[in-house]
Amino acid sequence: MVNSIVLRGGRTDDGERGKSGTPKDYGTWSLKNAKKEELEPLQETSQSLKAPPGNGQIRYRSPSSAELEGQSHLHIDHHHHQDQDQDRDLDHQLEKMLKRTRQQESFSDKIHRYRGVILIVSIPLLLISFVLFLMPRSPSSDIFPQDLLRNRRTTPNHRASSGSSKSYAVIFDAGSSGSRVHVYCFDANLNLVPIGKDLELFVQKKPGLSAYASDPHQAADSLQSLLEQAENVVPQELRGKTPVRVGATAGLRQLEGDTSDRILQEVRDFLQEKSALKSKPDWVTVLDGTQEGAFQWVTINYLLGNLGKKYSNTVGVVDLGGGSVQMAYAISEKDAAKAPKLSDGEDTYVKELFLKGTKYYLYVHSYLRYGLLAARAEILKAVESSGNPCLLAGYHGSYKYAGAVYDASASSSGSNMDKCRRAAFKALKVNESTCTHMKCTFGGIWNGGGGDGQKNLFVASFFFDRAAEAGFVNHNLPVAKVRPVDFEEAAKRACETKLDDAKTTYPRVEEGNLPYICMDLVYQFTLLVDGFGLDPWQEITLVKQVKYGNSLVEAAWPLGSAIEVASAST
């Protein structure tokens, strides 16, 4: 028989609490207490057998000692058996309570006891699962250009071997109006990271390489100061692994004969001999127009954070350079299938790009000879009379472009907005009879079909520069919302200005460009409305720089080229 059982910290079956408000302890529970409680009724019974006080006639006989002894034995035996039964019942109940306590410990108390460990383990697992769920799948097909922005994640060997997560790229933009150098720094995911206080180094100088057509060696040497500034921001230990590219654009494309090839070879030799950066012969080249347009589209949409979204959420780009103008925007797969075939040797209208897990059909076309500086020559040729209505009154001189010289003299009556617009319209060949497609821009070129990818247009380079110089946008701002009609209004004012007054009216215009301010603004309006078919009141965004994080980055094609070379470098 169990005399006592101890359950520390337990509680009664019905959850009863003691007077102190704490769970009632079983404590050391003695069976003697139970026996005492059972014997108390017996004592009360024996007391009731005593004679009541008083003189009543009825008398009671006291039991004999033998009777009392017999009764005593009977009571003891009876209670002994009761005690045994109660002990067995108590053991059974306590065993049930122990089982219940063990069950409660295994489910609720253990969870409560180890809740800290469970939280520490479960939270990181949930976060990791959430991140893996959000990560885009890696693309499985090739893109144009080579592996450009493949999910913006890459692990080139030159980053891994350097022990640094940063990589640099140096890009020279050898344009017709000047040479510019861009230096970019990327992290391992091809996100831009600061170089000092800015996200890029940008330096430019004039003239461009095409101005040295008669001296290719001097053309290469003209890049010396730009190269030195670029190398100074690249850590010395990374210079030998940092790619340097030179992309010549329309200015060199228009040079006659093998002049451009000789200039480019001098530049290759110059970089090989005088640069500590990593260079390759095929990294010094003349960009074709579609490459330039595609890089520009990638640059602006990369900076805006649009890559990876639907094509309808991207922006279209018009980049007006000196020698050519490019238009690029994403179109639907259905419109891409309708793209007309071009003759052999010409670029296709549509490029397929796979960027951040999304496939884009990019309409891109470069209009050679229709950059701002090249268009001046086309407009001068379009006017058959001796005086040109696009030049400010009082100007008599000549215009040199791409090795050719053109007579440039104002009409005796001065510049005239309407006559100048007719000359620009003629130069654009808007009604070109060779247009055999459903919709054309000018010169018989398919316009891409329009659509959502073109509804939000960013126009760059000379569009921004002339608008700022004409005074209808703030030159200190990186972007400005305008309409094509704003160029028309500015052109009207410019065409009414005489050359003698132009310097005062347009203090920001360089002296060599002053005679052409009417021509330039008229051409830009005509290009947008008649050439590209925009509504005169359609809102467009003039862009010089794009905000990326807390910094501003030049909205130029070299960033797209830098992303490509940083992705492909080994």
One-letter identity of residue 146: Q
Of 215-219, 241-245, 399-403, 408-412, least confident by mean pLDDT is 399-403
User: Across residues 47-55, what is the average pLDDT?
Assistant: 42
Cis peptide before 139 (omega within 30 of 0): no
Question: Tell me, what's the pLDDT at 423?
Answer: 96
Alpha carbon 52 to chain centroid, angstroms: 107
> What predicted TM-score, i.e. pTM, was given to this entire model?
0.67
DSSP state of 313: G
Q: How many residues does the chain have?
A: 570
Tell the residue number behind the tokens 């040729």, with chain if given.
381
Of 280, 189, 267, 268, which is closest to residue 241 (Cα–Cα)? 280
Q: In what order do the strands lie in the sheet with 284-286?
A: 200-205, 179-186, 167-174, 244-248, 284-286
Question: Tell me, what's the pLDDT at 437?
Answer: 63
Q: In what helix (H) or strand (E) does residue 35 lie, and over which residues does it extend? A: helix 31-48
For the stretch 10-35, pLDDT in tens is 343 443 334 444 444 433 333 334 34
d(CA 426, CA 383): 9
For the stretch 279-310, pLDDT in tens is 999 999 999 888 999 999 999 999 999 988 99
d(CA 366, CA 369): 9
Select the more confidently predicted residue: 160 or 292.
292
Question: Tell me, what's the pLDDT at 99?
Answer: 53
Question: Tell me, what's the pLDDT at 130?
Answer: 65
Q: Which of 200, 231, 292, 469 is catalytic?
A: 292
Of 276, 283, 189, 280, which is closest to residue 234 (Cα–Cα)? 276
Catalytic: 432? no
321, 250 Cβ separation under 8 angstroms: yes
Select the more confidently predicted residue: 32 or 392.
392
Mean pLDDT, rounded, of the chain: 79
Question: Tell me, what's the pLDDT at 569?
Answer: 56
Q: What share of the chain is helix, strand, coil (3-state, %, to 5)?
A: 45, 20, 35
d(CA 414, CA 389): 6
d(CA 512, CA 526): 23
For the stretch 509-522, pLDDT in tens is 999 999 999 999 99
Question: Tell me, what's the pLDDT at 256?
Answer: 81
Which domains are assigned to the chain?
Answer: 167-286 (3.30.420.40), 289-538 (3.30.420.150)
Binding residues for ATP: 322-326
Cis peptide before 207 (omega within 30 of 0): yes
554, 182 Cβ separation under 8 angstroms: yes
d(CA 243, CA 255): 27
